[in-house]
Structure 1
Amino acid sequence: MRISVFALTLFAVSFFQMKAFSQLTIKGRVVAEQSLEALSFVSIQIKNTSYGTISSYEGFFSLFIENKYIGDSVIFSFMGFESKTVAIQDFSKISVIKLKPTSIMLDEVKVVEKDPHLIYKNFYSIVDSYRKSKSGYFGKTFFSLSSFNGILPVEIIEGLYNCEYTDNSGIANANLKMGRYGHDSNSYFYSLNTSDILINYKLYSTDDNTYLPLWPGKMSLNSIKKNYIITARTGGTNSYIIYTFKAKDKNIFSGSLTFDIATKKIVKVALLIEKPQKSVFAPINPQHRLELLNIDIQIVYNPQNLQHIKYITVNYDIDYFSSEQTMKINTKALFLLFHEGASYIDPVFTSDPCLSNDYERILAVGFDSVFWKTNYNLPLSDKTASAFDYLVKHGSTVNFDINQEFKIEDKEHFNLMPWSEHQRIKWSDFNHNSKDFGIREKKINTPNNYYTPADLYNIDFSFMVNPIRTEGENFRYISNTFFNRRKSYYFLEKDEKTLALVNILFDMNNVEKNTMDSMLMVDNTVFNRGIVEQACIRANNNTINIIKHTDRGRDFEKLKEINRTYLQKTGIDNISLFARKYKEVVLDNETSADSDYNIGTALLLKKDYIGAILHLTKALETSTNNSQKRDIYYNRAVAFIELNDIPKAKRDLQNAINLGDVESQKLLDKIEDR
């Protein structure tokens, strides 16, 4: 497995005041004392705290120091080397940090146990203790990923996460606070879900529902004996036991586990697999193919607290084949828990954004350059800086000095469309693959056969609020109004009036978002989630009322009335943009019963049960089709049940039964005793 190809220009440790943030930043390089060889992934932690970082592949480090820590010290720890403590105020005199190797010699390494039965038993006892542990912890976590095709950069991703950890799972959950990325537009490779694959691995769980191969920590004792050859030896002046496990199957991990004898804790887990027959990755384009060459994972525990993980690295090599090119991809990823016990305030979405990868998450939560610089605790290497320069010229970058349009090959466009006066919703922005049926099909009418009222249409608007805490403990906010392309669909008749209505609703939601922003800043010493929730409720209620008032945009005079209201607030004339040719109400070919039925069932989805009952009742008054009446009775009964008006529900179900509806009989039987 290749190690990092990053290269940095050597610089001395620096010590300077960050006046804007009332912080100090220490930067430097960690090397071995005699050879001066750079030491990668050295643990660097402020003494008696859970805050710190690690050194980069070339040994460089960067760490913000708050004023309250200026009189403290920093501990440098690395397996196989003696720890070193340096006073923060002494950094101005030091050029590099030199760590002294431990005195262990090769002939001091010895086999711990020759009895295979005891080796397997002891090894299993170690992993099983983590598997049974219910302890958890959390902290601010840095994620980085870089992919290169030979020497050319393909993608770079960096993110700040809130992560939850458990002893038995490793990373149990992760929420992105903020991030940035760059990608080469000439390449087709995207490591979209590397972070998700690692988060879902569950290190010591026997659950094999994972994309990654198994290792002994996820197996029973009998399975370990069946699939592995394990040996044990000492290391680190006999303070460690190193268990080496060799897989008999090409599709599971081999590797090693280092165990600290004194604390009875795991120090490190190393996993490696080469050319597995089953790949954990798949190409975005089904016409492409790839061959996974190897995966190398390192789980390293915190030297200052061996119960908890310090960082995880994932390296893999892939041969990627497309009709345009063949690429040799090397990807390196890192999860670093740099501040245990601390957390950011997570971004708030008022509707599930359905974000499927790091690219989409980064675009959705916004970016604040001051916040990023304050929390970014790894030095940007010369190679990484050069890679971003390359991606600016030959691809796209987001949240760097130059921002370009988001491009991704597996999606027609980004899932969340942000509000903009220069960008309007088009019919092509709706998800036309959500359902596969026509409005006139009879089966769309009853929830029992899985065609729910939602099948008519769904227009999903939402707010995103990302609270940023300043050094003065006040808040500022990144916020946005989104139209969710993936969740929105429309299977009623489409025309320009309806499109004008949809964009008016988008503008209305953004007006409510702007009001929410102003209210949040009234008292910026706290983040009041209630303000966000109330803004969401107002926007949802306005959406329902506007749809009802304009008869889904079909009443052109009322649509123009609503348009005038939001033209005054936004300066955007959606009637002129989409529906200027309409001079009067156009009723299409739907009957009044059809219209009320469609609106009523849509309101049923939105849990506006009273509104649904009103429209369904109007539909019954004008409908002449017994099949339609049967379905109207059924849906109105569902609304009555939700309102706990069981007698009326039973009456409607009986009417539907009289019209020959079998499903109504089933539902009536369920509620008979209520």
Structure 2
Amino acid sequence: MKKITLIIFLLFYSYSFSQNYINGFIFDKSSNKSLPYATIRLISDKDYYTITNEDGKFEFLNKFALDSIEVRYIGYRSKKVPLSYFKNNPKLLLEQEVYNLNSVNIIVKKEKDYSYKLLFRLIKKYRNNKKIVKSKGFLNLNTSVKGVPLEIIEGFYNSEHTLSKGITDLKIKSGRFGQNRSFPFYSLNSTDILKDFQLFNISHQILPQYPGNLALNVIKRKYKVKIDPCDNCSYDDMVLSFVPKKLNGRLFFGKIIFNKETLTIKKIELGINNPTTYRLTSIIKNHEVIPKEIILNINFNPNNFEKIQSLDYKFTMYYNSKKSFEIIETNVFLYFYDYYKIFDEPFFTKSIKFNNDYDKIIALQATNEFWDANYQFPKSFKALKSIEFLKEYGILINYENKIPTNDIEFIRPSVISWDKTKRLKWESVKQGLNESENSNKYINRNLSTNIKADKVYHSSSDIVKKNSFFNNYQSFNFSYLLDKHKDSNGENKFITRTIFDRNSSSYKNSRSKNMLVYLNLTFDIYEYYRQKLASEINDEMTFSQVKVLCNETFKKATQTVEKMKMETNSALNFQYLMRWNNEIKSKLDIDNYYLISNQK
């Protein structure tokens, strides 16, 4: 009954959209089940592509000169329909391909080691394919405990991948996330796990291995390989399945679906129970992270199988804090699109070393223009429920342009953007660089208990980053952020921001009120020049031109900061400090001395 209710709700929801969007659902004709992540080609003088979400729903702006769309899904007959079809029909039904079982029986009898040799022919072909494919990427991640949302993440990336190595690079362009206040959990390092996974190279990776990571003699020794029937394959398709002879936690079972004539892989499905993983641990001592199940599906682009289209990753773990026990499930979907087209990389006037993508998301923030122009995936029913839950019981970062102060303090970012309503505090400089974040203190993991933020690290490198930075010098580091994107009309939009780098800033001397005034005046000087910079930028300028202007402006601001430093003797000369305080007050309407004197 619940399933029927959900479908009715979603169909109603699709009709409630404005005329600016075209949307619909892709379903299996025989089972009437939705088909998630089906490929949609928007046919026009210049083709565009999108995919369905986990509910089988697609949606795109009605701005393209389209006459029809084509839908592809592995194991199903592709279907082309006119755009007018969806005016009266919410669902498009796909038919499964018919599979000929007799061809399997003939092939199996050919040779004893035929399946092993055929598998290694595939591996060898792909292991030698080192062509780099650049593209945009979109990541959707959700983590939950017994259906209760812990974390949701959405992010746009620049990516690179090869068929031999898999993902070789992922750099975030913009993102947003939400977290449960009573059980803060950080799982974005799933991207590190996926980057570390070698598609066809021999590797000692975080995740277990599969035949694509092994030599032929090792495959024969460790795996049973056979040709399996395929329930819904094309006539030329074949399935090779592989199962470890010994379950040791370091070998995936799975199957590869491929075209037997061209040796072209269409999909790889991997799974393992009770896996042994490398470099996965909890930051809290005496807390156990026990991996229980991993599922990883690699889907190749049906319009060009030489490119990866998406990765579907599920990680289930037991989390044991000795006082409570939880089963945590993380689901990640990473989709690649706009091949050989990438976003402009954000630019910083001074190098910033971010701890992880959470820091970058907060520093880069998100503009409605960028997300409206690039977000092409309708929210699934599950995602909508998670967002509503976290609005009430959690925090949402970048789902609005302005990040609430309390949320920033909760996340403790390493980079802080200038804000007229917020003044830097000494806590922003200290940042607890030499503190252990209560690592020896018991923290109740019960979802009903309010606790301090902690982090489950998906990579040992994160722990090193956190503990290896020592406060061995005194400096305040600022930078300008410059970012560029195109709006829904394809026009350039530039964003500039003044940021304070907490990670590389420190101050060991006496933390006086006057010195804190001086620190905030420095922040304000950089912001004053940034505002002048923003007024000089126009949308006709190139990114390179704006970068030059950004560097020149930052240099002028730094010279002014040096002048203040000399005149105030680094905040020791109160008379000159007040002169600079009044100067900033006249330009930005901020009285730092008054505000900091009255801080609680």
- Residue 119 of structure 1 deviates from its aligned partner by 3.3
Select which of 570, 578, 582 maps to 1:552.
570
* 477 and 323 in structure 1: CA distance in 2 versus 1, 3 angstrom threshold: farther
- Closer, same or farther in 2 for the Cα pair 1:383/1:321, shift >3 Å? same
Residue 51 in structure 1 maps to residue 48 in structure 2: yes
Equivalent-residue separation in structure 2 for 1:476 and 1:324 (angstroms): 51
TM-fit CA distance, 1:15: 8.8
Paired with 1:382 and 1:491, the residues of 2 have a C-alpha distance of 51
Matched, 1:479 2:496: yes
Which residue of structure 1 lines up, in the alignment, with residue 34 of structure 2? 38
Q: Distance in 1 between matches of 2:539 and 2:183?
A: 47
* DSSP-derived class of the 1:489 partner: coil
Secondary structure class of the residue paired with 2:399? coil
Which amino acid counterpart does residue 560 of structure 2 have in structure 1?
N
CA contact (8 A) 1:51 1:340 kept: no
Contact residue 184 and residue 395 of structure 1 kept, 8 A: yes
59, 73, 77: which one pairs with 2:72? 77
Return the alpha-carbon distance in structure 1 between the equivalents of residues 557 and 346 of structure 2. Answer: 19
Pairing of 1:132-211 with structure 2 (within 5 A): 132-208=128-204, 210-211=205-206
Q: For the pair shown, which has the larger CA radius of gyration, 1 or 2?
A: 1
Greater CA deviation, 136-145 or 58-67? 58-67
Match of 1:503 among 520, 523, 528: 520
**Would the aligned equivalents of 2:275 and 2:294 in 1 still touch at CA under 8 Å?**
no
* Structure 2 counterpart of 1:241, one-letter code: M
The match for 1:130 is 126
| Contact 2:581/2:592, CA 8 A, preserved across alignment | yes
Give the conservation status (yes or no) of the 8 Å contact 1:145–1:331.
yes
Contact 1:147–1:332 (CA under 8 A) maintained in structure 2: yes
Q: Secondary structure at the match of 1:217?
A: helix
Q: Is structure 2 residue 94 aligned with structure 1 residue 94?
A: no
Q: Can you list the C-alpha shifts for 1:119-148, whole angstroms capped at 9, x where unaligned?
A: 333322322332222212222222101122
Distance 1:567 1:405 in 2: 23
Deviates more, 1:141-150 or 1:523-532: 523-532
What CA distance in whole angstroms lies between the structure 2 residues aligned with 1:524 and 1:44? 35
Letter in 1 for 2:363: A
> Displacement, 1:394?
0.7
Distance 1:28 1:169, change over 3 A: same
Which residue of the partner structure matches residue 218 of structure 2?
223
Work out the percentage of aligned pairs sharing the same amino acid: 24
Question: What amino acid does structure 2 have at the position aligned with 1:125?
Answer: R
Give, in whole Å, the separation in 1 of the partners of 2:434 and 2:569. 23
Equivalent residue pairs, number:
554
Q: Indicate if the aligned counterparts of 1:367 and 1:478 stay in contact, CA closer than 8 A.
A: no
Quick one: structure 1 residues 412 and 368, their matched pair in 2 at CA, closer, same or farther if it must change by over 3 Å?
closer
Distance 1:340 1:456, change over 3 A: closer
Counterpart position of 2:418:
419
Aligned to 1:381: 380
- In structure 2, the residue matched to 1:308 is 307
- Do the aligned partners of 1:137 and 1:341 also contact (CA within 8 Å) in 2? yes
Gaps of 5+ in 1: 437-452, 581-674
Separation of aligned partners in 2, 1:408 and 1:201: 32
The equivalent residue for 2:529 is 512
| CA–CA separation in structure 1 for the residues paired with 2:195 and 2:128 | 19
Is residue 350 of structure 1 aligned with residue 368 of structure 2?
Answer: no
Q: Distance in 2 between matches of 1:364 and 1:483?
A: 10
In structure 2, runs of 5+ residues without a counterpart are 436-469
Distance 1:169 1:46, change over 3 A: farther
Q: Aligned equivalents of 2:392 and 2:433: distance in 1?
A: 37
Which residue number in structure 2 is paired with residue 567 of structure 1?
Answer: 585
Distance 1:137 1:353, change over 3 A: same
- Note closer, same or farther for the CA distance 1:237–1:468 as it changes in structure 2 (3 Å cut): closer
Amino acid at match of 1:303: P
Query: Is residue 279–residue 291 contact of structure 1 (8 Å, CA) maintained in 2?
Result: no
CA contact (8 A) 2:373 2:486 kept: no
**Is contact 1:215–1:253 with CA below 8 Å preserved after alignment?**
yes
Deviations 1:342-365, CA, capped at 9 Å, x for gaps: 332232233333333343332221
- Give the letter aligned to residue 521 of structure 2: I
Shift of 1:298: 0.5
In structure 1, the residue matched to 2:209 is: 214
Q: Give the Cα–Cα distance (whole angstroms) in 1 for the partners of residues 62 and 385 of structure 2.
A: 28
Give runs of aligned pairs for residues 465-614 of structure 1, distance below 5 A: 465-521=482-538, 523=540, 528-577=546-595
Q: Kindly indicate whether structure 1 or structure 2 has the higher relative contact order, using CA contacts under 8 Å at least 6 residues apart.
A: 2
Distance 2:342 2:234 in 1: 37
User: Do the aligned partners of 2:54 and 2:380 also contact (CA within 8 Å) in 1?
Assistant: no
Deviations along 1:247-278, whole A, 9 cap, x unmatched? 23322222112222243321111111111234
Query: In the alignment, residue 154 of structure 1 is paired with which amino acid?
Result: L
